[in-house]
Structure formats: structure tokens, C-alpha cells
Amino acid sequence: MQDAPLSNDLRRQHLEVTRRYFMHLGAAGLGATQAIAAWAKESDAEILEEATSDMEYLTYQDEFGTVQRGKPLPYTLPLEKRLEIGLERETWKLEIVPDPESNAAVVNPMTRKKGNALDFKGLMKLAEKHAVRFLKVMSCNNMKDPLGMGLWEGVPLRNVIWLAKPTANVRRVYYYGHHNEDPKQMFRSSLPIGRALEDPPGDNPIILCYKLNGEWLTGKRGGPVRMLVPDAYGFKSVKWLKTVALTNDHQANDTYAGGNNDIASWMKTMCRFVYKPAKEKAGVPIPVTGLAQVGVGGLSKVQVWINPQGKEWAKDDPYFTKASWQDAKILPPPNNWGGDLPDGKLPPEVQFFTKEGKPEHWPMRYTIAHWATLLKDVAPGKYDLYCRTIDDKGNAQPMPRPFRKDGANAIQKASITVEG
């Protein structure tokens, strides 16, 4: 699978906010003396606050990167066909049933045949009491760049499961999306019943999602309803949701279970470059910026390291733990959240936000954070440039999980030439 490019929307937002940041630092075409004077003129907090004041943080629905399956893609079918198969809100129905191959005990199976499958009106009725909203970055575990950053809204999966009245012998939840009546195209995923019914401390619930950035979820994004697993990579958040099956089977049935992914992987903390010049003149501070994906471990620092090309590094230190890393600035949350929201304002009652609409802490897990730094006093030469994250427990990327199969998080390397 090829890496999806960073979405145009994410790149545009990032470059705009970091441009303003460096303008305040005096780095845009100014010499090192002037840049340092700008640092002294305003505090870091003041510089960052002004630089991010108009930044649009959320990705517009149409600008998300896309990883999708299906021939044809379900949302490209004619409206008449989408209505027939339940891929419009007016006709969507969800079956909640026992797995026929296990002995899960379910008192009230909800099926299309019985006429009691959950429809969109029923889901909205649940939403009146149970709807939740939270921020989440959508990311693929085999891709290096995030697909987009959204405000997702839905009904917790547990509230839907209890409609079917399970009583015993339930260990996992299987769930499926629309597959064009072709079993070979079926996309499946699964969760332990414990995670479906209860949230770990500080985590958001798994939801049946129907809105993104305050707008109805489009077909391209998996609408009318998709599963949304906040702490996981995108393949757990199955699009075009049609069936939830409760099972006593102890094994996962995920489409990728027999492939190349760790299907139980939490999202990792890692960072990427977005901007750095290919060449710069000696004596000029070098602006370097990027995005960090904040995974289960949280994020305390982003760091960069510049190393002369050709300089060998100890083979017993593959993650450069003894290198001379320097801290970058993690930019604060924006005032304008963007992404289709009216006036860029978040709606009320977003998870882990105060009544005043401020995040309880920043950066937030399972989101993105923008970062920036200036490299100063770099002598002429050719260099390799690296970036890494430090999580809340002090683990430096790619630790504590350096293995690709449960999420791409290798330390990124770029090159830069400083001319004399």
C-alpha cells in the first residue's frame, strides 16, 4: 500500500500558521540578530497565541485523505441503488444479532427480516440522550501521514448493543460494512466486548458516527453511519456500517487479521516534517515545521536533530538516543477550529473540553499538534535532518513500539544544504 499524501487542507493550514509564527520571530528573510531580538520582544506564549489565532485546525470533509474498498465504491452508486441498499439516512438500517456460529445469548435480535432493525430515526432518538462529540485524527497504520483531523459525533456503541439485550456468552463484537453483496469485498473488524461497553480512563467511547465537523457524514467518509474507534487506526472504523454481531468467539475476525497488520494496535505518537527548505544561506535561521500525531502515550515534546551527512552513527544506537536533539515548539490550540464549523467555533459539550470551549489539556491524545523550530548558527555543509516525539512517559519515538506492523512510526530523515 502506498503512502497517502498529506491532505491539501492539512498542509495549507499548517503552512499558514507556521508562516505567521516565523514572521513574529523575525525569521522571514531576516538575519540571526534580528530573529533573536524578536524572541526577546515577545514571550513564546504571546508569539504562539498570535500566530495561531486564525488557524483552521479541522480538515474539511472533502479534503480528507481516503483509503477505501469496494468495486464499485458504494457511495458512487446511483441514488436509487443507495436508497435500496440502505446507504442513505432515509433507508439505513443496522442489524444487531448473535453470531450464528457461536452460542451468544441475545434476547432481542434486531433484524431487517423481523422489522426491528435500528433505523436512522431510532439512532437519532438515542442521540437525544447519549450523543457524544470528540476530536480524532484519522490515520492509517501503514501510512506515514495522517489522513485528516475531525470533530466526530455519534452514539456510543454500548447504547446500541444493549437494545438487543445480550445476557451471556459474549466475548467480542464483530461488525461489518456494506460489501456490494460480494463476500470477497466484505470489510470486517472486531472489538473485545469490554472495550465496547466500557471506556478506559481518559478515553472516548466507541461510537456509531453520523456527523463530521457538525455536518452529516458523507458517503465518501463512510456515511450515513460508520463505526468510529477513537484510540485505533482507521481500519477499525468501518465505513457504511450494516451489521453488529455479538459472539462468544475469542478470536478476532478482522479483514486484516491474516494480513500484515496488528489489528489490536493503539494509535502511536510520532511526528513528520511538513516544511523545511532544501537550501539555506549560512547565518540565516532555518525554519523547520511539522505535524505530530498524538497517540495513546500522549505528547510532551517534539525534537529535531541536524547531523552532517556522511558522519557515521553507532550501529548499537539505531534510534539515535545519544544524539544532540533540540526541542521544537508545540503550537497551542487554535481559536478558529475551521473545518465546516460555523464561525470556526466548536459546538457545546465536546469531550474533554471545558464549558468555555477550551481543551482541558493540550496536546490531546488521538489528535494532531503543529510544531515549529528555528535552526540557528548552522555552518555551511550538507546535513541530514531528523525529527522525533517524546511521549508523556518519556519514551522517545519509535519506542515503546518500534515495529511497523502495529503502526508506522519510524524516525523521519530529510536533507538540507547550507551554503556559505
- Residue in 94, 116, 246 with CA at minimum distance from that of residue 177: 94
Question: Is the domain of 280 the same as that of 327?
Answer: yes
Residue 252 lies in a domain: no
Q: Give the CA distances from residue 18 to residues 53, 332, 399, in Å, rounded to whole numbers and listed in that order.
A: 11, 12, 28
Question: Is the domain of 272 the same as that of 311?
Answer: yes
Distance CA 104, CA 317 (A): 50
Radius of gyration of the chain from its Cα atoms, rounded to whole angstroms = 23
- The structural domain count of the chain equals 2
**Tell me, what CATH number does 241's domain have?**
3.90.420.10
Question: Is the domain of 339 the same as that of 284?
Answer: yes
Question: Is the domain of 231 the same as that of 281?
Answer: no
Q: How much is the pLDDT for 31?
A: 38
Question: Is the domain of 236 the same as that of 347?
Answer: no
Tens of pLDDT, residue by residue, the chain (420 residues): 334 455 555 666 666 656 655 555 554 433 333 433 343 334 544 544 454 455 568 999 999 988 887 889 999 999 999 999 999 999 999 999 999 999 999 999 999 999 999 999 999 999 999 999 999 999 988 888 899 999 999 999 999 999 999 999 999 999 999 987 787 888 899 999 999 999 999 999 999 999 999 999 999 999 999 999 999 999 999 999 999 999 999 999 888 887 767 888 899 999 999 888 899 899 888 888 899 999 999 999 999 999 999 988 999 999 999 999 999 999 888 888 988 898 889 999 999 999 989 999 999 999 999 998 888 899 999 999 999 999 999 999 999 999 988 899 999 999 999 998
- Please say whether the beta carbons of 32 and 315 come within 8 A: no
Reading the block at residue 123, the C-alpha cell is 439512532
How far from chain centre, in Å, is Cα 25? Answer: 30
Question: Is the domain of 94 the same as that of 217?
Answer: yes
Distance CA 154, CA 131 (A): 5
Q: How much is the pLDDT for 385?
A: 97
Q: What is the DSSP letter of 220?
A: T
Question: Is the domain of 363 the same as that of 220?
Answer: no
For strands 105-106 and 326-327, give the pairing: unpaired
Residue 34 lies in a domain: no
Residue 150 lies in a domain: yes
Question: Is the domain of 109 the same as that of 144?
Answer: yes
Q: How many other β-carbons are positioned within 10 Å of the β-carbon of residue 53?
A: 13
User: Last residue of a domain, which of 247, 281, 312?
Assistant: 247
Residue 288 lies in a domain: yes
Residue 257 lies in a domain: no
Residue 297 lies in a domain: yes
Q: Residue 312: which domain range?
A: 268-419
Question: Is the domain of 102 the same as that of 228?
Answer: yes
Distance CA 300, CA 95 (A): 42
Reading the block at residue 212, the C-alpha cell is 463530521
Residue 80 lies in a domain: yes
**Tell me, what CATH number does 383's domain have?**
2.60.40.650
Distance CA 207, CA 216 (A): 15
Within 13 Å of residue 13, how many CA atoms lie on the same side as its CB?
29
Question: Is the domain of 203 the same as that of 99?
Answer: yes
Q: How much is the pLDDT for 27?
A: 43
Question: Is the domain of 273 the same as that of 414?
Answer: yes
pTM metric for this prediction: 0.89
Question: Is the domain of 242 the same as that of 341?
Answer: no
Residue 96 lies in a domain: yes
